[in-house]
């Protein structure tokens, strides 16, 4: 209807140099709620570098209120039938679809994303994922009931785990929230979610849309910084903690959850190898890799940013990737983020811009910047699409997650070396292999130590298939029936006949 959502209010009187900031509220027990903490955090538009909203930096009292509401709601929500929960999720999916433009606008201003890409690739995908979990609510499977001991009938019951605490990242705030609350609610749990302190806006609006459909207390949002997240994780109420974030954040969450032996679901960082053999279609590979690397300004744990190329094709691939970065990849600006064809937006924050710049400041002498390598200049936190060649396996750019629009390129001698280089990082989230040799592709799929392996493509995700990593990339799966089961517990019931 065009009116301002209730989770927003206008405050902070304007000055000659500053517009009033939107005052964001928490969402607890089915309604927007002012924080009991007076601390606030500014929310900045990354495309302009200007603050436009203020969010609560919630404290213990806020977290406790959200947990109390979620626990009270769980006592009845856990008794709902699968068909009832399916109905809730389908209505939410339709509500988000009906407000797709609005949510995309909020997401873009908060994250600096290109509008058309966000509408088509993120909001639409989130709606599809909610509908998948709506169907999954009625498809839980277990071992068949049977008489495994004479005179005693055994059966398996899958139950919701309870209240789930969720912490979401700043790169895909709306979609990552969906990945957590959709399977949790489908299984009969209730949720308290903390979005990133830099990107709370779309999550709060989504919570309001959900609140018009769900019983009060089933879904709650508490804003804040790292300390708020710690309070969520350490609170006595939640039985499961789910986070998407950095390896550092995952370790902190696991440590905070350990005293009460809470279940943890960790989707952490990545450093995806993109292994290209000389027999691949190099032109097509370079074009596809560039899109998979620069999408969301490279701020994606699965981004195709670590390219490893067979020596015979190395220089050709370096040149092709440089051409993609300089000629075929459209970088946005503070005034063009709605333009058609824009692929690369700004980085999330000034801190992230400085972090990416720091990798270039520390480049070793043997590295060669063949495209980009510097901030774009002007307003906002834009960084040029970049390609760096000449790197060695031990170099920082190869080993550490950059989280920016940067492709590194390394040569390899043979298949064994390619596998060793692909696996030679602490991460194990996603990978790809590019070749026209089917047997070789399957050998690489077997050898790569990553939760996802793509063949002659990189980055597509579907709701029906699991997403999750190995090693320092965490444990547990998102999406799919496997992701759904993460939010359930198994009970054995045995009855005398």
Give 293-312 pLDDT, tens digit per residue: 999 999 999 999 999 999 99
Residue 346: pLDDT above 90?
A: yes
Read off the pTM: 0.95
Mean pLDDT of the chain: 95
Strand, helix or coil for residue 491: strand
Q: Which residues contact 229 (CB under 8 A, 6 or more apart)?
A: 167, 194, 243, 249, 253
Mean pLDDT, rounded, for 240-244: 97
Catalytic residues: 267, 301
pLDDT tens by residue, 195-218: 999 999 999 999 999 999 999 999
CA 434 to each of CA 56, 132, 298, 311, 314: distance values in angstroms, whole numbers, following the listed order: 46, 30, 20, 14, 13
Q: Quote the CA–CA distance of 189 and 70 in Å, as a whole number.
A: 9
Q: What confidence tens digit (pLDDT) does each residue in 146-195 have?
A: 999 999 999 999 999 999 999 999 999 999 999 999 999 999 999 999 99
Stated length of the chain: 497
Q: Are the C-beta atoms of 251 and 227 separated by less than 8 Å?
A: no
Calpha distance 105→125 (Å, rounded): 16
CA proximity to 83, closest of 136, 130, 34 = 136
360-401: pLDDT as tens digits: 999 999 999 999 999 998 999 999 999 999 999 999 999 999
d(CA 269, CA 391): 21
**432-454 pLDDT per residue, tens:** 999 999 999 999 999 999 999 99
pLDDT at residue 6 in the model: 62
Taking a C-beta distance cutoff of 8 angstroms, is the pair 254, 267 a contact? no
Read off the pLDDT of residues 57-99 as tens digits, 9 standing for 90 and up.
999 999 999 999 999 999 999 999 999 999 999 999 999 999 9
SS3 label, residue 225: coil
Map tokens 């909203």 to a residue: 53
> For 179-262, where are the E strands, in sequence order?
190-194, 219-221, 240-244
Output the pLDDT for position 30.
97
Mean pLDDT over 274-290 rounds to 98
Q: How buried is residue 444: exposed, middle or buried, by Cβ count under 10 Å (0-12/13-18/19+)?
A: buried
> Given the DSSP bridges, would you call strands 306-310 and 406-412 parallel, antiparallel or unpaired?
parallel
Collapsing DSSP states into helix, strand and coil, what is residue 156?
Answer: strand
The percent of residues in the chain predicted with pLDDT above 70, rounded, is 97
Confirm if 452 and 431 have CB atoms less than 8 A apart.
yes
Q: Which residues contact 320 (CB under 8 A, 6 or more apart)?
A: 282, 283, 286
pLDDT digits (tens, 9 = 90+) for 92-151: 999 999 999 999 999 999 999 999 999 999 999 999 999 999 999 999 877 789 999 999
What is the end-to-end Cα distance of the chain in Å, rounded?
A: 60
Closest CA to 299 of 147, 187, 171: 171
pLDDT at 140: 83
Q: Distance between CA atoms of 71 and 189, rounded to whole angstroms?
A: 9
Torsional sign, CA 372, 375, 380, 382: positive
For residue 318, pLDDT beyond 90 = yes
Q: Is the dihedral of CA 56, 61, 66, 67 positive or negative?
A: positive
Handedness of CA 173, 175, 177, 180 (dihedral sign): negative
12 pLDDT above the threshold of 70: no
């Amino acid at each position: 209807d065009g009116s301002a959502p209730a989770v927003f209010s206008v405050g902070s009187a304007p000055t000659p140099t500053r517009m009033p900031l939107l005052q964001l509220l928490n969402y607890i027990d089915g309604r927007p709620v002012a924080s009991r903490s007076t601390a606030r955090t500014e929310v900045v538009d990354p495309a302009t570098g200007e603050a436009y909203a203020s969010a609560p930096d919630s404290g213990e009292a806020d977290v406790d209120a959200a947990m109390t509401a979620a626990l009270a709601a769980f006592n009845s929500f856990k008794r709902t039938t699968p068909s009832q929960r399916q109905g809730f999720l389908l209505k939410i999916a339709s509500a988000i679809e009906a407000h797709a433009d609005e949510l995309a606008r909020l997401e873009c201003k908060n994250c600096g994303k290109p509008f058309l890409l966000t509408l088509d690739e993120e909001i639409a995908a989130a709606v599809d994922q909610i509908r998948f979990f709506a169907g999954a609510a009625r498809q839980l499977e277990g071992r068949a009931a049977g008489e495994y001991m004479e005179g005693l009938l055994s059966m398996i019951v899958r139950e919701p785990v309870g209240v789930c605490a969720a912490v979401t990242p700043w790169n895909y705030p709306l979609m990552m929230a969906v990945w957590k609350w959709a399977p949790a609610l489908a299984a009969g749990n209730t949720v308290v979610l903390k979005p990133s302190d830099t990107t709370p806006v779309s999550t709060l609006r989504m919570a309001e849309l959900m609140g018009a459909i769900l019983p009060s207390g089933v879904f709650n949002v508490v804003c804040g910084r790292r300390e708020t997240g710690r309070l969520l994780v350490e609170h006595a109420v939640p039985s499961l903690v789910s986070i998407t974030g950095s390896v550092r954040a995952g370790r902190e969450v696991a440590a905070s959850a350990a005293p009460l032996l809470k279940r943890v679901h960790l989707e952490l960082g990545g450093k995806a190898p993109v292994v290209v053999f000389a027999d691949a279609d190099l032109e097509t590979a370079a074009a596809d890799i560039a899109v998979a690397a620069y999408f969301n300004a490279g701020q994606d744990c699965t981004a195709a940013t670590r390219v490893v190329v067979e020596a015979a094709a190395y220089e050709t691939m370096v040149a092709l990737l440089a051409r993609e970065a300089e000629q075929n990849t459209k970088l946005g600006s503070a005034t063009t983020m709605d333009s058609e064809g824009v692929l690369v937006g700004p980085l999330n924050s000034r801190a992230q811009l400085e972090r990416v710049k720091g990798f270039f400041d520390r480049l070793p002498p043997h590295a060669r910047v063949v495209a980009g390598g510097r901030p774009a200049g002007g307003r906002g936190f834009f960084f040029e699409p970049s390609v760096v060649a000449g790197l060695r396996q031990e170099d920082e750019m190869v080993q550490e997650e950059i989280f920016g629009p940067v492709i590194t390129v390394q040569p390899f001698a043979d298949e064994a070396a390619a596998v060793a280089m692909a696996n030679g990082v602490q991460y194990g989230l996603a990978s790809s292999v590019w070749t026209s040799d089917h047997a070789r592709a399957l050998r690489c799929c077997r050898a790569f130590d990553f939760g996802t392996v793509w063949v002659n493509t990189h980055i597509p995700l579907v709701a029906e298939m699991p997403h999750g990593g190995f090693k320092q990339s965490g444990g547990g799966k998102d999406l799919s029936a496997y992701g759904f089961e993460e939010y359930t517990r198994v009970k054995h019931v045995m009855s005398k006949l």
